[in-house]
């Protein structure tokens, strides 16, 4: 299915994911367009799908629109493709991204490109083209490629291996079912031999050897490296080969990856396609190294260059030391961090190899991880920004790599190890008939929920007169004993029946043991500012920096850190349109939890909207248990629709609901 507008992608994704019919009003809010446009788009998409026989969009009176699947297998494939397009065009204009891809393909294919030709081919004016040319230049610069303008037109210059990397990144349709709106056949021809695309047999031959080796790279990397191999024929015919200095060549020759690269080029299929050039073998070894997926805990470091492993380790421990006064630094001092420390070092080594043999600041068009930020918690993302920002300083180059999100995943795992503060309950199990039966129920409760129970004493009902109720938190009984009155909660055994979920037992009993001191602190700190004058996000953050910074120097540092961190992982949570900014405590000198609700719509990028800006500053001395609670409160706010409105109307009541939802989820995961 050919989708030419970003709003079409949004509408389809919304309908695909919906469990109930969606109204035109709901779809118009998601797609940020008018009701009239949505209804027109529904008719267009329906006719498109009807032609292909995949699904139809059915309208239910007074309810809305819903998908009716006709071809299950084709529908699943379409869902996958729409998700890919959403990642590729996330927050961007489909038309402009396609124009930019076409422009870059022209630059990287032709010796000279005239701007008038581009305007004619893309049906746009010179002034409209300037923004796309500027974006294309930024893309090329990230690959260390220069875009030069002369009387003959635009031309690119750079090392052959960098030009190839940019070409491969632009070969989007090779990895996914992406059909460009402006195809350029001459660009595709560079990946062919005698007009024939050999990608499939080359990838099979490459993977057969790779699987038998000790090297692991990502699936998308196998596709990109295969495309690099596809390029070698046409580029070699023009005597264009990678340019590697002697030091790098010697380093590569000493690696295990070089031995595997030699095996790959010795394969009959690959040798028959590309021939055997030593410089191409060396470049393939370099590509294998920079695309390595490492796991020190499983495979260690024996196949990696020893010198680089040691250099990376030195930098890694320097970064941990630099973070000792930062938010969440206590995580790095826990016993279980010793296990996960190897994971962080593995991820950093991946970046270090890219830095040493390539670049870490490349603009990525194709990856499987784009758009996944909303799935991570705010504090793990901020901890990741902190580590990566320090690594950037150590390496002296920007890091815009997809491996960054893996850092966040490990930080989340670390936080999961932290136990919520809980006062175990002392219970009195009461029987009106059989002490033996009651004893077994008490033992069953204790076995299943031991982490929430200190002890359970068993009594017959008449013995309750001698019980000191101050010694117990609740009574559990075979029935509700509603005709007796006791100064503590009474819970029925019936809540253990199969027709009652364990959550009911949590609601009536175990929720009372969770420590709510951090919740109380959040209630005291949170300030909701309605009708905030937010015209442009960067300008508003600058104003916040002046508001919160302890001194003029701290104000500058707050703004500089925001700008730097935004490049590593942006602060925007697309699911609910929230911008969340962490202000380092060392620059503010106080804890902050301020929510700013704009008085009017605020655009973010081209197709996104800001519903709130949240500024947070956390004392690094906060306990890990409290840090975990704060993180989950923040996560709930950015992930659950309608929470901002509820906080505005009833802050304390909503925070109570959020806390109960957090600890209830913890209980149900027992």
Q: What would the pLDDT profile of 347-405 be if each residue is shown by its tens digit? A: 999 999 999 999 999 988 766 654 467 789 999 999 999 999 999 999 999 999 889 99
Domain boundary among 290, 322, 341: 290
Range of the domain at 429: 425-513
In a domain, 168, yes or no: yes
Which residue is associated with the tokens 């746009």? 124
Q: What is the DSSP string of 578-632?
A: EEEEE--HHHHSS-EEEEEEESS-EEETTTEEE-EEEEEE--TTS-HHHHHHHHH
Which CATH number do you get for residue 259? 1.10.1790
- Locate 91 and state its tokens: 């927050």
The answer to whether residues 215 and 344 belong to one domain is no
The answer to whether residues 260 and 142 belong to one domain is no
Which CATH number do you get for residue 14? 1.10.10.10
Give which of 659, 661, 572 is closest to 608, Cα–Cα: 572
The answer to whether residues 375 and 342 belong to one domain is yes
pTM of the model: 0.87
In a domain, 630, yes or no: yes
What does DSSP assign to residue 302? T
**What does the alpha-carbon distance between residue 393 and residue 200 come to, in Å, rounded to a whole number?**
41
The total domain count for the chain is: 6
The answer to whether residues 145 and 183 belong to one domain is yes
Confidence at residue 495, expressed as pLDDT on a 0 to 100 scale: 52
The answer to whether residues 664 and 521 belong to one domain is yes
The answer to whether residues 523 and 663 belong to one domain is yes
**What does the alpha-carbon distance between residue 162 and residue 128 come to, in Å, rounded to a whole number?**
28
Give the CA distances from residue 456 to residues 405, 422, 439, 443, 510, in Å, rounded to whole numbers and listed in that order.
Answer: 45, 17, 9, 8, 13
Q: What is the mean pLDDT of residues 14-23?
A: 89
Which residue is associated with the tokens 């073998």? 281
**What does the alpha-carbon distance between residue 658 and residue 414 come to, in Å, rounded to a whole number?**
22
The answer to whether residues 69 and 157 belong to one domain is no
In a domain, 531, yes or no: yes
**What does the alpha-carbon distance between residue 269 and residue 171 come to, in Å, rounded to a whole number?**
22
The answer to whether residues 371 and 406 belong to one domain is yes
The answer to whether residues 488 and 546 belong to one domain is no
In a domain, 522, yes or no: yes
How far from chain centre, in Å, is Cα 393?
Answer: 23
In a domain, 217, yes or no: yes
- Among 13-17, 86-90, 394-398, the minimum mean pLDDT is found in 86-90
**What does the alpha-carbon distance between residue 654 and residue 487 come to, in Å, rounded to a whole number?**
28
Confidence at residue 255, expressed as pLDDT on a 0 to 100 scale: 97
**What does the alpha-carbon distance between residue 210 and residue 259 come to, in Å, rounded to a whole number?**
11
Residues listed for the chain: 670
Q: What is the mean pLDDT of the chain?
A: 90
Q: What is the mean pLDDT of residues 162-166?
A: 98
The answer to whether residues 300 and 409 belong to one domain is yes
pLDDT category of residue 512 using cuts at 50, 70 and 90: confident
Residue 179 CB coordination number (10 Å) = 14
Confidence at residue 604, expressed as pLDDT on a 0 to 100 scale: 72
Q: Residues 6 or more apart from 51 whose CB is under 8 A from it?
A: none
Confidence at residue 136, expressed as pLDDT on a 0 to 100 scale: 95
Spatial contact of 56 and 6, defined as CB atoms under 8 Å apart:
no
Domain boundary among 34, 64, 88: 88
In a domain, 583, yes or no: yes
Q: Residues 6 or more apart from 388 whose CB is under 8 A from it?
A: 399, 404, 407, 568, 569
Interaxial angle between packed helices 256-266 and 278-290, expressed in degrees from 0 to 180 and rounded to the nearest 10: 130
pLDDT category of residue 483 using cuts at 50, 70 and 90: low
Is pLDDT of 575 > 80? no
In a domain, 256, yes or no: yes
Condensed to tens digits (0 to 9), the pLDDT of residues 167-217 reads 999 987 666 667 788 999 999 999 999 999 999 999 999 999 999 999 999
Spatial contact of 288 and 225, defined as CB atoms under 8 Å apart:
yes
Residue 310 CB coordination number (10 Å) = 11
Domain boundary among 490, 513, 536: 513
In a domain, 194, yes or no: no
The answer to whether residues 325 and 356 belong to one domain is yes
The answer to whether residues 475 and 531 belong to one domain is no
Question: In this predicted model, which residue has the larger pLDDT, 26 or 608?
Answer: 26
Q: What is the DSSP string of 634-645?
A: HHHHHHSTTHHH
Q: Answer positive or negative: Cα dihedral of 36, 39, 43, 46.
A: positive
Give the CA distances from residue 196 to residues 264, 511, 596, in Å, rounded to whole numbers and listed in that order.
Answer: 21, 66, 57
**What does the alpha-carbon distance between residue 155 and residue 149 come to, in Å, rounded to a whole number?**
6
């Amino acid at each position: 299915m050919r989708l030419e507008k970003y709003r079409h992608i949004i509408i389809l994704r919304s309908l695909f994911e919906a469990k109930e019919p969606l109204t035109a009003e709901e779809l118009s809010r998601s797609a940020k367009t008018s009701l009239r446009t949505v209804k027109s788009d529904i008719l267009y998409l329906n006719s498109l799908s009807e032609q292909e026989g995949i699904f139809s969009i059915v309208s239910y009176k007074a309810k809305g629109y819903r998908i009716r699947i006709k071809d299950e297998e084709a529908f699943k494939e379409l869902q996958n493709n729409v998700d890919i397009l959403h990642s590729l065009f996330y927050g961007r204009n489909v038309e402009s991204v396609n124009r930019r891809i076409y422009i870059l393909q022209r630059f990287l294919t032709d010796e000279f490109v005239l701007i008038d030709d581009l305007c004619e081919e893309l049906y746009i004016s010179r002034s409209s083209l300037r923004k796309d040319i500027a974006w294309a230049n930024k893309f090329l610069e990230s690959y260390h490629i220069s875009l030069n303008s002369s009387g003959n037109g635009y031309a690119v210059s750079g090392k052959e291996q960098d030009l190839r990397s940019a070409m491969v990144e632009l070969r989007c349709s090779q990895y996914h079912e992406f059909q460009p709106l402006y195809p350029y056949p001459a660009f595709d021809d560079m990946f062919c031999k005698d007009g024939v695309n050999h990608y499939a047999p080359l990838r099979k031959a490459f993977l057969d050897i790779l699987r038998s080796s000790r090297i692991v790279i990502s699936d998308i990397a196998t596709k990109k490296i295969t495309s690099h191999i596809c390029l070698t024929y046409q580029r070699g015919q023009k005597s264009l080969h990678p340019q590697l200095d002697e030091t790098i060549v010697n380093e590569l020759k000493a690696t295990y990856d070089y031995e595997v690269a030699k095996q790959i080029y010795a394969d009959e299929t690959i040798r028959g396609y590309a021939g055997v050039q030593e410089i191409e073998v060396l470049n393939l070894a370099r590509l294998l190294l920079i695309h390595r997926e490492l796991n020190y805990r499983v495979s260690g470091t024996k196949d990696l260059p020893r010198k680089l492993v040691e250099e990376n380790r030195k930098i890694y421990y320097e970064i941990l030391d630099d973070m000792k006064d930062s938010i969440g630094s206590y995580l790095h001092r826990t016993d279980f961090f010793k296990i996960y420390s190897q994971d962080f070092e593995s991820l950093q080594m991946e970046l270090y190899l890219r830095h040493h043999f390539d670049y870490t600041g490349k603009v990525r068009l194709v990856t499987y991880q784009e758009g996944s930020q909303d799935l991570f918690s705010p504090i793990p993302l901020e901890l990741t920004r902190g580590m990566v920002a320090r690594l950037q300083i150590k390496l002296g180059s920007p890091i815009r790599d997809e491996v960054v999100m893996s850092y966040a995943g490990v930080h989340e795992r670390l936080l999961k190890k932290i136990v919520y503060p809980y006062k175990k309950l002392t219970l009195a199990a009461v029987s009106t008939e059989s002490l033996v039966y009651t004893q077994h129920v008490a033992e069953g409760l204790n076995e299943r929920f031991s982490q929430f129970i200190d002890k359970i004493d068993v009594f017959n009902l008449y013995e309750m007169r001698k019980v000191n109720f101050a010694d117990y938190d609740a009574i559990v009984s075979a029935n509700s004993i509603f005709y007796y009155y006791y100064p503590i909660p009474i819970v029925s055994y019936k809540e253990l029946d199969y027709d009652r979920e364990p959550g009911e037992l949590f609601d009536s009993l175990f929720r009372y043991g969770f420590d709510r001191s951090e919740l109380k602190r959040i209630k005291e700190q949170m300030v909701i500012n309605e009708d905030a004058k937010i015209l442009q996000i960067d300008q508003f953050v600058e104003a916040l920096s002046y508001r919160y910074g302890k001194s003029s120097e701290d104000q500058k540092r707050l703004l500089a850190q925001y700008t730097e961190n935004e490049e590593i992982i942006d602060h925007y949570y697309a699911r609910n349109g929230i911008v969340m900014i962490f202000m380092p405590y060392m620059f503010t000198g106080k804890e902050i939890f301020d929510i700013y609700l704009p008085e009017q719509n605020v655009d973010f990028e081209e197709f996104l909207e800001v519903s709130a800006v949240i500024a947070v500053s956390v004392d690094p001395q906060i306990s890990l248990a409290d840090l975990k609670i704060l993180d989950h409160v923040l996560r709930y706010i950015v992930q659950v629709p309608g929470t901002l409105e509820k906080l505005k109307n009833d802050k304390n009541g909503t925070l109570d609901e959020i806390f109960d939802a957090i600890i209830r989820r913890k209980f149900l995961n027992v």
